[in-house]
Amino acid sequence: MKEDLVLPAQRTQGPGTDGERLLEVKGLTKHFPVKGGFPIRRTVGQVQAVDGIDLTVHTGESFGLVGESGCGKSTTGRLITRLMEPTAGTVTYRGRDISHASRKQLAPIRSEIQMIFQDPYSSLNPRQTVGSIISGPMEINGIDPQGGREKRVRELLEIVGLNPEHYNRFPHEFSGGQRQRIGVARALALEPKLIVADEPVSALDVSIQAQVVNLLQQVQNDLGIAFLFIAHDLAIVRHFSQRVAVMYLGKIIEVGDRDSIYTRPRHPYTHALLSAVPEVSLTDEETGGRERIRLAGDVPSPISPPSGCRFRTRCWKARDQCATEEPALVRISGNHEGHLTACHFPEEPTTEGRQEDIVLDPALAALEEAASDDGEERA
Amino acid sequence: MSTPLLSVRDLHVSFKTEDGVVRAVDRLSFDLDRGRTLGIVGESGSGKSVTNLTVLGLHNPMFTTVEGEILLDGQELTTARESELEKLRGNKVAMIFQDPLTALSPYYTVGRQIAEPYMKHNGATKKDAWERAVEMLGKVGIPNPRQRAKDYPHQFSGGMRQRAMIAMALICDPDLLIADEPTTALDVTVQAQILDLLKDLQREFGSGIIFITHDLGVIADMADDIMVMYAGSAVERGTTAQVLRSPRHPYTWGLLNSMPRLDSDTGVRLSPILGTPPSLLTPPSGCRFHPRCAFADRVAGAGRCTTERPPPATDRASACHLTADQKRTIFIEEIKPRLG
């Protein structure tokens, strides 16, 4: 039997605890087997959902994880909350390795790491009242707050901006944004130190998204909870997170402070991702300011990812070295401290427009060439 | 100026449901010219999709009441017979849907589905239509189109399926293309490819496009003109520059203020619109936005917003009781500074 996981004594929340390493992930890997064949089903391949990622979340910090669908960001969230067991690598929470801990060993930690899910419709049990949904975590963990659980639930409802009188209502009586608030209240019920929020606002309407983002920010500031904020919306991640990691096909390809990543990106994929975000320009000048990069095709399959650098099949800078040698996630010259990039041939640290757009999509390139030829002929 | 390609006048659409009558679209008027793109932006339930299903006659006539005029090239569509509409669909008017996997049939090859409208409307032979389908697939950027035309939709990735949908929509060279959230299900790098592809193809085909989305960034990128919808009505209309740079309706202000941008100040909290969108079964009295409006108390005449509906939005005025001067001052002094 493994020893029980004993957590260090609870520290009082305060500014002094900032910067302490709350969660440390090293070489985290999750491969899902692909079964096939007849009559005996064998494992014929592996989906390399997450493949050796390192990250650290400090106490009270908000860490953003961005990437497109299939890059492994949600799997990472599930591995950290130990809803899944990793294939390899370690997850260290407050100095204890929880990557292969048993159910029993995990029990004291579960209350400290909570999760907020994407879909506020499927993540709440329609047969339970709001009161029993939010008090559920307390019941399971045998926690009896002062004044009773009902009082605590009413407090929580108030914190997330719902009417405490709605204690006995059912989820279907609430709108999407209100349901997401119930999910936040449930996550807060055990006074966690880390909340993994997996696309917490992407199912909501634009005007409601801002309400929930503000609520999460308020919760983070007031209660000093660290967040792992997983999302595909780059503007929302930028708004919410102090540090940001960009994932592509199961790897972190760039990580750093928010301003470093968004204004001084080095990895070609980060450049492509930022340039693809459609933006409302509010100034009257014509925007020639941002670079324009249009990649070709979709993300390759994670069952047989490209050798070497995984982005090389869609990259305009790829050379032979990229196919044979996997770039390490390191601080390359010119980067600020803590800004790591995994690329052999990094880009200039700017997002300003280039002399020539990078258009790799063959259909776009053909149509645009034809259009510019027309323009020249007319001129 | 010739007559517009599509002209919608005072359109009302309501559904009979078990709980009562839902007024999904109310007092809606707009025009669209050839070669232009009209962006319709609004939240879920604002009536933006219903409007366009009505244009194509895709509503269920058993439960739907449509009043008003929809003129396509002078032809009235609200009273048109099903057989007349069938001649238009896929031919003069085409549609691109949000989810290409459910919009394509899993039982037929992609090539056959693309060729079908061409055979039906142009009387082409199977072989000619197939050739045309392959050509269209190549045009929208499917590599190796002759081979891939024989594939089934499940063998395509999400971005490729949406490209196939675009090929199908454009094969008969439609005058009007309705794109209902065509990139919402796609990743951001693929979305950028598809949006640019639509723009470039529009230049070649000259279609008028109605582009429906909830994303202001996408609309800024795509549209020449914008119509902002709330609870079934247009609250503001104008060119893209007018609506985004000098908006004149509190709801548009709210949308702009609640959305973080890549260059906005991260130290500032977002300013969301309070409350939730209203139920169209029992819409609020007076201005439908008044329960969520931060500026209703500035309107001259107490309680006017709760009792009197503002006139529908025109190209010059938003559907709001604030005076034109008030709208300008509030935007410049209170809204714009917060946009950073």
Same domain (yes/no): B168, B290: no
Residue A5 has pLDDT above 60, yes or no: no
Does the CB of A4 have a partner CB in chain B at under 8 Å? no
Tell me the average pLDDT of chain B: 90
Q: What is the dihedral of CA A222, A227, A229, A234, to 10 degrees?
A: 60
Residue B316 has pLDDT above 80, yes or no: no
- Mean pLDDT along residues B66-81: 91
ipTM of the complex: 0.87
- Measured in angstroms, the CA of A371 and the nearest CA of chain B are apart by 8
pLDDT at position B48 is: 87
Residue B175 has pLDDT above 80, yes or no: yes
* Tokens encoding B298: 């500035």
Instruction: Using alpha carbons, list the distances in angstroms from residue B70 to A65, B7, B213.
Output: 47, 6, 21
Share of chain B above pLDDT 90, in %: 60
Residue B234 has pLDDT above 50, yes or no: yes
Q: What is the residue range of B87's domain? A: 6-229
pLDDT at position B92 is: 92
| CATH number of the CATH domain containing B225 | 3.40.50.300
Element (H, E) at B31: strand B20-32
Sign of CA dihedral B33, B36, B41, B47: positive
Find the CB nearest B262 among A68, A279, A295: A279
A18 compared with B17, residue with greater pLDDT: B17
Same domain (yes/no): B133, B172: yes
Domain presence at residue B190: yes
CB contact under 8 A, B272 and A361: no
Measured between CA atoms, the residue of chain A closest to residue B157 is A298
Most confident range (mean pLDDT) of A2-16, A260-274, A359-373 is A260-274
Share of chain A above pLDDT 90, in %: 60
Does the CB of A360 have a partner CB in chain B at under 8 Å? no
pLDDT at position A17 is: 43
Q: Thinking of the domain A19-37+44-241, which architecture would CATH place it in?
A: 3-Layer(aba) Sandwich (3.40)
Residue A309 has pLDDT above 80, yes or no: yes
Same domain (yes/no): B220, B267: no
Same domain (yes/no): B303, B270: yes
Find the CB nearest B270 among A213, A282, A297: A213
Same domain (yes/no): B255, B189: no
Q: Which of A212, A364, A368, A374 to mutate to test binding with chain B, by most B CBs within 10 Å of its CB?
A: A364
Domain presence at residue B290: yes
Does the CB of A295 have a partner CB in chain B at under 8 Å? yes
Same domain (yes/no): B162, B26: yes
Instruction: Using alpha carbons, list the distances in angstroms from residue B242 to A58, A283, B34, B46.
Output: 45, 11, 21, 21
Element (H, E) at B299: none
Rounded to 5 degrees, what are φ and ψ at B6?
A: -130, 135
Can you tell me whether residue B330 is helix, strand or coil?
A: helix
pLDDT tens per residue, range B36-47: 999 999 888 888
- Mean pLDDT along residues B224-249: 93
* Tokens encoding A249: 């096909």
Q: Which of A73, A173, A205, A311 to mutate to test binding with chain B, by most B CBs within 10 Å of its CB?
A: A205
Domain presence at residue B195: yes
B65 compared with A377, residue with greater pLDDT: B65
Same domain (yes/no): B253, B202: no
Domain presence at residue B237: no
Instruction: Using alpha carbons, list the distances in angstroms from residue B85 to A108, B61, B89, B93, B208.
Output: 65, 14, 6, 9, 18
pLDDT at position A1 is: 40
pLDDT tens per residue, range A237-296: 999 999 999 999 999 999 999 999 999 999 999 999 999 999 887 665 555 578 899 998
- Measured in angstroms, the CA of B244 and the nearest CA of chain A are apart by 7
CB contact under 8 A, A205 and B221: no
Q: What is the DSSP letter of A352?
A: B
Residue tagged 């323009």 (tokens): A375
Same domain (yes/no): B215, B291: no
Domain presence at residue B240: no
Please state at what angle helix B188-205 crosses helix A268-276, rounded to 10 degrees. 50
CB atoms within 10 A of CB B221: 22
Same domain (yes/no): B287, B192: no
Q: What's the start-to-end Cα distance of chain B, in Å?
A: 39
Does the CB of B276 have a partner CB in chain A at under 8 Å? yes
Per domain, the residue ranges of chain A are 19-37+44-241, 266-280+288-378
pLDDT tens per residue, range A11-29: 444 433 456 899 999 999 9
Domain presence at residue B1: no
Domain presence at residue B236: no
- Number of domains forming the structure of chain B: 2
CB contact under 8 A, B272 and A214: yes
* Boundary residue ending a domain (B229, B255, B280): B229
Does the CB of A303 have a partner CB in chain B at under 8 Å? no
Same domain (yes/no): B147, B268: no
- pLDDT classification of A373: cutoffs 50, 70, 90: confident
Q: Which residues 102-141 of A are in CB contact (within 8 Å) with B?
A: none
Same domain (yes/no): B162, B250: no
Does the CB of B196 have a partner CB in chain A at under 8 Å? yes
Same domain (yes/no): B192, B104: yes
pLDDT at position A379 is: 59
Rounded to 5 degrees, what are φ and ψ at A273?
A: -65, -50
Q: Where are the beta strands (DSSP E) in chain A?
A: 21-36, 42-58, 62-66, 88-93, 96-97, 113-116, 194-198, 226-231, 243-248, 251-257, 293-294, 340-341, 358-359
pLDDT tens per residue, range B91-137: 999 999 888 888 899 999 999 999 999 999 999 999 999 999 999 99
Does the CB of B144 have a partner CB in chain A at under 8 Å? no
pLDDT at position A12 is: 41
- Measured in angstroms, the CA of B256 and the nearest CA of chain A are apart by 9
pLDDT tens per residue, range B140-169: 988 899 999 999 999 988 889 999 999 999
- Measured in angstroms, the CA of A336 and the nearest CA of chain B are apart by 19
Relative to beta strand A251-257, strand A340-341 is antiparallel
Output the pTM of the full model.
Answer: 0.89
Tell me the average pLDDT of chain A: 88
- Cis ω on the peptide bond leading into residue B277 (within 30° of 0)? no
